[in-house]
Structure 1
Amino acid sequence: MISLLAVTLTVSAATPVLTLDEALEAARQNNLDLKVARARLEQSRLLSNRAWAAYLPTVAVSGSYTRNSAEAVVALPGGPEIVIQPLNQFAAQAEVRQALIAPSLWPAIRNAGIAEDVAELNTDNVRREILFVVAQSYYGAASYQEAIRATEFLLEVNKAREADTQKRFDVGTVTRVALLRAQLDRARAEQDLVRARNAFSSSRLALATLLQRDADFTLELPPVPQVPPPDVDLAQQALEQRPDVAAARRNLDLALGRRQGVWFSYLPGVSLSGVYRLGNATGFAGQNDSWALTIGAQWTLWDGGLREINLREESARVAEASAQQKQAESRAVEEVSRARLEYENAQANLAKAEEALGLARETQRLTEISFKAGVATYLEVADANSALTNAEVGAISERLQTSLAALRLLRAAGLFAAKE
């Protein structure tokens, strides 16, 4: 009897093997969703610069040329003539403005830094989710590939059994019903193989799309991911490690900072401005240039109630952010507990599937021996081979479910793909 482990997937020798680590690294480099998230992060990193720009000095220069209808000259008694309005008038001006005391900008600068932190955490969460999907797709495609080997094994067995039955029918030792059963089993095995190959091709194409590469690779089934033992408090680790929980906390800080910014808008502001002017009209001062320094203060005492409206709005946003933080923490704890139960259940199912596989292998071996001794019938051998293949496929499926459950547990605890 052909051993299942000896049956290999028929692929070109030049087809590369893609490992799980290689797939995750390719996703980090090429995944389009991750590139979009990084581009948005780069945009968010400019928030602090934009906030500081309002506190930095501004410099502006301007110039003009005016053609007047007539020249205006004033002759003072005992003094020189002063050109008040030249026929061709040129002027230039340079102005510098600097905020000295701007209370509304102080929390805005701090809030910009918090908003950058939130963007960093959200991007990290997107990265983890994308890599989690890639890992899920990899395990699924690799399991379909293993299922192909199991169905190929059943097909080879049924082909051999059909050929043997045909010979027996030709010499009259079996009935035509036995031959038809053998042909039916072979046809079903061929159909199952087509389904398995199509499922593998589809899952491999989905994985290739995530990695932005051609689907010209085979896979190696990785071991079931290792998870921390039951005595490790994964719920606490989730509260400490998950970026979505950290982002919810920083969003609360941001909401508090924005409300503080409204309170600071009640304070007065002080600014400094300097102007230098140059022109070809001297004016009564008798100079072509002039300068001025101005210190100004502004204090809005009443703005029609807009600040009070903003204050109530920001207070409501603080309450919303506080509830969202508690919601994120509760969801993280709940996801860890549910993922732990699913993993334990998957482990139990895998153990039963492996036990059933061992029994099916022994049954198939004994049935084959009995058939060769003339004790077992062809139908008993066919049923044993079919049961063995079903057990192989069942073990592969349960192994996949256990791997996916382990991935979900690691993701819920914030431990999957924690590092960039």
Structure 2
Amino acid sequence: MNLRITAGSLRRPLSLVLVSALSPLGALAQAPAAPQLTPGQVAPAQPVTAAAPAPGSLRTVTLEEALTLASKQSPDVAAARAQAAVAAASVNRAWTAWQPEVTLSGQFVHTNAPAEFDLGLITGLFGGVFNLQPANPGLIPPPIAISAANSRYATATISQPLFTPAGVFLIGPAKAGAEAARLGAEEAREQVLLAVARTYLGLQGITQMMDAAREAEQVALQRESEAKSQLSVGMTVEATLLRAQAETAQARVQLAQLSGQYAQLLAMLGALVAEPVQPAPIETPTPKWQIPSDDQRPWEDTFAVRSAAKAVQAAEGKVTYDRFSWLPSLVATARGNYNSNTGFTGKTVYYEGVVAASLPLYDRGQRYAALHEDEARLEQLKAQYASARARGQASWVAAKANLEAAEAAVAQAEAQAQLAARVQQQVSAAFKAGVSTSLEMSDADTRRFFAASSAAQARASVEIRRAELAAAAGRIAASIEKPEQK
């Protein structure tokens, strides 16, 4: 039950990183302005390279493979499953109320004061006192050893509960609690897989934005080269060269920022899947997410809601046990003994059977205190269950609305990118013909870069929204499982 909080806490830092990673316009707006250059001075020509490892240095995986790796070997998933295993052990502990208890003990005792019962000595004492002699001395038994100098003792005991309130009322709650913990671990896995999908798709989005930044850099370098040539023959002014150099520096700053964000998300992806990996090319197909319809009320089938329902069921069973814990307990005990001293019985081995009943009349009010605590805990879990259902429905509605908005945004962004590319071509041709200024051409280049970056961000956002919609229905893990594994 507490696992949901732990897994849900993974979403906040990851979402902050991804928002910053998928915001090229904001990063460009904060980029430092190009330094003031003297006439004829040229900006540094060294290109900015990505901070990501060289191709082939990391294992390239598809999104489905990354999700499978995280499901199998993520430390967060392993910790959640281990906690669920601890809860599952409580079921075995509940069954111990019906299981027998078998004990075997043995002793060897040496004493310097052995004890025995000698009837002949007693008879002789009485006869000496009263001057009486036994009529038949042969009937007097030999001395009976009560505790010899060396004695051996052994006891075997078997105790079998016949009836106990704990065995009747606590097994069901233990099973429900173990199932709640298992579902909580599955919810934690869903959140880890969602984080993997967000990081992976964010990396692919940054890759597209880096391509746009490199293209902007090449265009700026071309404009700079043309300005130099025109300035050398007196066809333009120095301001045109300075503007081209500023655009080159600005494109390189943006590329450097994207490279740093790429390296950051790449390290986070490796931490989530517990293995250094890198995403596959953009053209690689993504998993087919299982997205149910609204009629199926998919938020009711999420692991978080099901875990909360099982927690309520376990708490109800515990309250029932508290109300009937006054019932008596019945235990049957069989005990076998060995005594090297025969004593008065004349036997070294003997056994006995006992049936005992115990009825708790008053236990200093502990039973009533436990009942009140469990009733209050039950009300808390019911409220948490209602909250989980409401949050699950809200997450589904929000994820579906976000996906629809992202799909509309990507269509608009793609159209704007195509329009900006055509405008850039037209302005470039007009500049070469001498009917447009270098300022208009610079503005067209900037608008094309913005449009290309926005389109890349919108495409990555659509894929992330699809993954979030699958997570809102608790279907990320189901989407990557093979049919034979279900």
Compute the TM-score of the two structures, normalised by the length of structure 1: 0.91
Aligned residue number for residue 416 of structure 1: 476
Q: Is the CA contact (8 Å cut-off) linking 1:235 and 1:332 kept in structure 2?
A: no
User: Number of residue pairs matched?
Assistant: 410
Q: Tell me: CA distance 1:248–1:67, structure 2 relative to 1, closer, same or farther (3 Å).
A: same
Contact 2:399–2:469 (CA under 8 A) maintained in structure 1: yes
Deviations 1:256-307 (A, max 9, x none): 1001111221111110111111121111111112211100011112223222
Deviations 1:100-143 (A, max 9, x none): 11122211111111111111111110110100011011111111
Residue 95 (structure 1) aligned to one of 154, 157, 162: 157
Q: Does 1:82 align with 2:124?
A: no
Counterpart in 1 of 2:328?
A: 268
Q: Distance in 2 between matches of 1:153 and 1:179?
A: 19
Q: Secondary structure at the match of 2:141?
A: coil
Gaps of 5+ in 1: 1-7
- How many angstroms does 1:193 deviate by? 1.1
Where does structure 2 lack aligned partners over 5 or more consecutive residues? 1-48, 121-139, 482-486
Check if 1:174 corresponds to 2:236: yes
What is the match of residue 69 of structure 1? 112
Distance (whole Å) between structure 2 residues aligned to residue 307 and residue 26 of structure 1: 48
Is it true that 1:236 corresponds to 2:278 in the alignment? no
Residue 68 of structure 1: how far off its partner (Å): 1.4
The amino acid across from 1:255 in the alignment is A
Matched residue type, 2:153: A
Q: Which amino acid aligns with 1:49?
A: N
Higher mean C-alpha deviation, range 102-111 or range 300-309: 300-309
Give distance in 2, aligned partners of 1:416 and 1:25.
10
Deviation at 1:311, TM superposition (A): 2.1
Match 1:44 to one of 87, 90, 94: 87
Opposite residue 236 of structure 1, the aligned amino acid is R
Q: Distance in 2 between matches of 1:326 and 1:19?
A: 38
Say whether residues 1:205 and 2:247 are aligned partners: no
- Counterpart in 1 of 2:281? 220
- Residue type of the alignment partner of 1:332: G
Deviation at 1:228, TM superposition (A): 7.9
Q: Which amino acid aligns with 1:20?
A: L
Instruction: Pick which of 379-388 and 202-211 moved more.
Output: 379-388
2:153 is the counterpart of 1:111: no
Do the aligned partners of residues 11 and 167 (structure 1) sit closer, same or farther apart at CA in structure 2, a change above 3 Å counting?
A: farther
1:278-297 equivalence runs, <5 A: 278-297=338-357
Displaced runs of 4 or more, over 4 A: 8-13, 222-229
**Structure 2 residue 309 is matched with structure 1 residue 249:** yes
Q: Deviations over 1:209-257 (max 9, x none)?
A: 1112235x3533366887789x931671111x20111111111111110
Secondary structure at the aligned position of 2:430 is classed as helix
Structure 2 vs 1, CA of residues 369 and 224 (structure 1 numbering), >3 Å: closer, same or farther?
farther
Matching residue of 1:136: 198
CA distance in 2, matches of 1:69, 1:273: 35
**Helix, strand or coil at the partner of 2:170:** helix
User: Which one is further off, 125-134 or 79-88?
Assistant: 79-88
**Alpha-carbon distance change, 212 to 227 in structure 1, aligned in 2, over 3 angstroms:** closer
Instruction: Tell me if structure 2 keeps the 8 A contact 1:235–1:413.
Output: no
Which deviates further from its counterpart, 287-296 or 393-402?
Answer: 393-402
Contact 1:226 1:406 in 2 (8 A): no
Cα distance in 2 between the residues matched to 1:17 and 1:117: 37
From the superposition, tell whether residues 131 and 207 of structure 1 become closer, same or farther in structure 2 (CA, over 3 Å).
Answer: same
Quickly say closer, same or farther: Cα 1:336–1:225, change in 2 above 3 A: farther
The CA distance in 1 between the partners of 2:91 and 2:362, in whole Å, is 29
1:161 pairs with one of 223, 231, 239: 223
- Among all aligned residue pairs of Structure 1 and Structure 2, give the percentage whose two residues are the same amino acid: 28
RMSD: 2.3
The letter of the residue matching 1:368 is S
Structure 1 residues 316 and 159: alpha-carbon distance in aligned structure 2, compared to 1, 3 A threshold:
same
Mean CA deviation greater in 343-352 or 250-259: 343-352
Is residue 24 from structure 1 mapped to residue 24 from structure 2 by the alignment? no
Amino acid at match of 1:42: A
